[in-house]
Amino acid sequence: MNAQSQPTDPRPLDTRFQPRHALVTGANRGLGLECTRQLAAAGVTVFLCARRLVDARNAAADLGALAGAIHPLALDVLDPDAATKAAAAVAGITGGELDLLVNNAGIYPDAGREVTRLGPDELEQTLRTNVAGNHRVLLAMSPLLRAAGDARVVQVSSRRGSLALRLDADDRLLDHQGPGYSTSKAALNMLSLAWAAAFDSTGVRLAIVSPGWCRTDMGGDDAELSAEQGARIILEAVDQPHGSFTGGGEPIPW
Ligand SMILES: NC(=O)c1ccc[n+]([C@@H]2O[C@H](COP(=O)([O-])OP(=O)(O)OC[C@H]3O[C@@H](n4cnc5c(N)ncnc54)[C@H](OP(=O)(O)O)[C@@H]3O)[C@@H](O)[C@H]2O)c1
């Protein structure tokens, strides 16, 4: 058993909002895979999305007995058509609705580097994936979310997207490392507030969450939290207020 799969937090998922059908992007590994596992274990039908269908299928198969509750789907957030195709596949199975979207896929290519060593193409790729890709998924899934009547969106962001923490001399994020990633998450937060406003008069509630520093390929082996703990923080955000930015149930300054 590796560090990512150690059962550090074996409590069953216990949220006030109880989804029936959830879609998780970037779910073939890391926090997305662990969200999928926890949702399926709680009896939720999960659409496990990965860039490549083969990776989605393999990840579902690796979940063993839980695989019966999982539908693997191809969803590369950079592909202009993939999210609409995935939405059509979801609609075919659920009858046209989706009551939880975990918008999780992301990249962090400039980890540990300062801004003078950030290439413009690398910055563009990060913004395309973490911001435009996230937006593409919301555009495709919002009709299904609205149709569900009572639905949740969890936008997986990061404390690194907080301008307030960046300006706080006492906060460790003042290191200014990973500026492309941080810029993308700050932009994602603003985009998410626009989506929250768009959902205001609907039954869709949107929460922005930072999972904390977690032991995944992105977070590395030295991170504070297991993937299991980070995924729980993501999923428990379904009970956080509409338009909030939190981590572990606590508000994060914008
Ligand atoms: N780990 C942390 O400490 C931490 C802290 C704060 C926030 N977060 C956020 O949490 C989320 C998940 O992070 P993680 O730690 O699980 O990262 P990870 O282990 O690197 O996994 C990232 C996932 O995103 C997928 N992905 C990347 N580009 C994609 C694309 N174009 N289309 C669809 N999927 C794509 C990857 O797919 P492939 O396998 O195909 O590459 C993978 O499934 C990210 O949004 C991240 O910013 C993580």
Q: Count Cβ atoms within 10 A of the Cβ of residue 23 and give its class: 0-12 exposed, 13-18 middle, 19 or more buried.
A: buried
- Identity (one letter) of the amino acid at 77? V
Rounded-to-integer distance, Cα 151 and Cα 137, Å: 15
Mean pLDDT, to the nearest integer, of 231-243?
A: 98
Q: Is the pLDDT of residue 21 over 70?
A: yes
Q: How confident is the model at residue 138 (pLDDT cuts 50, 70, 90)?
A: very high
**Closest protein CA for atom 40 of ligand 1:** 51
Q: How confident is the model at residue 245 (pLDDT cuts 50, 70, 90)?
A: very high
**pLDDT tens digits along 141-200:** 999 999 999 999 999 999 999 999 999 878 777 788 999 999 999 999 999 999 999 999
Tokens of 98: 């989706």
Query: DSSP secondary structure string, 53-112?
Result: HHHHHHHHHHTGGGGGGEEEEE--TTSTTHHHHHHHHHHHHHTS--SEEEE-----TTTT
At residue 10, the pLDDT reads 57
Average of per-residue pLDDT values in the chain? 94
Q: How confident is the model at residue 9 (pLDDT cuts 50, 70, 90)?
A: low
Say which residue the tokens 């393999």 belong to: 58
List residues near ligand 1 (CB under 6 A). Answer: 25-26, 28-32, 50-51, 55, 75-78, 104-108, 129, 133, 156, 158, 210-211, 213-214, 216-219, 223
Q: How far is the CA of 8 from the centre of ligand 1 (A)?
A: 21
Cβ-Cβ contacts under 8 Å for 26 (sequence gap 6 or more): 32, 49, 50, 77, 104, 105, 106
Q: Is the pLDDT of residue 237 over 80?
A: yes
Q: Count Cβ atoms within 10 A of the Cβ of residue 68 and give its class: 0-12 exposed, 13-18 middle, 19 or more buried.
A: exposed
Q: Is the pLDDT of residue 4 over 80?
A: no
Q: Which CATH class for the 15-251 domain? A: alpha beta
Nearest to 99 by CA among 159, 52, 56, 149: 149
If DSSP codes are grouped into helix, strand and coil, which group holds residue 165?
helix
Nearest atom, ligand 1, residue 223 CA? 3
Q: How far is the CA of 71 from the centre of ligand 1 (A)?
A: 19
Nearest atom, ligand 1, residue 75 CA? 33
Decide if 140 contacts 193 (C-beta within 8 A). no
Rounded-to-integer distance, Cα 238 and Cα 12, Å: 15
Q: Where are the domains of the chain?
A: 15-251
More confidently predicted of 242 and 176: 242
**pLDDT tens digits along 84-127:** 999 999 999 999 999 999 999 999 999 999 999 999 999 999 99
> pTM value?
0.96
At residue 106, the pLDDT reads 98
Rounded-to-integer distance, Cα 162 and Cα 171, Å: 11
* % of the chain at pLDDT higher than 90: 88
Q: What is the best residue among 52, 104, 208, 210 to mutate for testing ligand 1's pocket, by most ligand atoms within 8 Å of CB? A: 104
Q: Is the pLDDT of residue 229 over 90?
A: yes
Mean pLDDT, to the nearest integer, of 136-145?
A: 98
Rounded-to-integer distance, Cα 45 and Cα 207, Å: 21
Rounded-to-integer distance, Cα 233 and Cα 9, Å: 11
Q: How far is the CA of 104 from the centre of ligand 1 (A)?
A: 7
Q: How far is the CA of 201 from the centre of ligand 1 (A)?
A: 31
